[in-house]
Amino acid sequence: MDQRSKELLSLQALKKFRIIYGSVRQHFREIEQTCGVTGSQLWVMQEIANTAGIGVSELAERLSIHQSTCSQLVEKLVTRKLITKERSKEDQRRVGLRLTAQAAALIKGAPGPADGVLPQALRALSAEAIHALDLSLENVIRQLEITDDKLAEKPLSDL
């Protein structure tokens, strides 16, 4: 492949990244306009709705974000009275999270998917396609002059 063809192919791939990024941003804007919460906050509430009493550690794991980031999201939602914290009767050290009625109503009217359009699209791919994509993206990341691995543990809506 000559240099011009490679350049054109690179630009095509760049356009696809723009479509993905723009689609993700558009979805998060729609969530904020419709619900008054960020995409990551909606995802937190959806996970709590799916597993009432979930703890912050398990929630962070499900969202694939750092525990301190998850704690900050939870505190914001507690302050807004969208979720509550409850100590376990069996183990007073364990704190479970529950939705308030206001949050449950908010989730029902929220544009889906709660975890975002990109995770949904990735789940729709075959295992082979995800593996190939993962390897290709790893190669792209290696070519970047500046990388911040900590960004991998932040929700997309917060970037």
Please determine, for residue 159, whether its predicted confidence score (pLDDT) is greater than 80. Answer: no
Q: How confident is the model at residue 27 (pLDDT cuts 50, 70, 90)?
A: very high
User: What's the chain's average pLDDT?
Assistant: 92
pLDDT at residue 1 tops 80 = yes
Instruction: Show contacts of 67-76: CB within 8 Å, 24+ apart.
Output: 69/153, 69/154, 69/155, 69/158, 70/44, 73/40, 73/41, 73/44, 73/155, 74/44, 76/41
Q: Is the pLDDT of residue 14 over 90?
A: yes
pLDDT for the residue 95: 87
| pLDDT tens-digit readout, 70-85 | 999 999 999 999 999 9
pLDDT tens digits along 98-120: 999 999 999 998 998 888 899 99
Q: Tell me if residue 91 falls in helix, strand or coil.
A: coil
Judge contact between 56 and 50, C-beta under 8 A.
no
Which pTM value belongs to this model?
Answer: 0.83
pLDDT at 62: 93
**CATH code for 3-158?**
1.10.10.10
| Cα radius of gyration (the chain) | 19
pLDDT at 93: 75
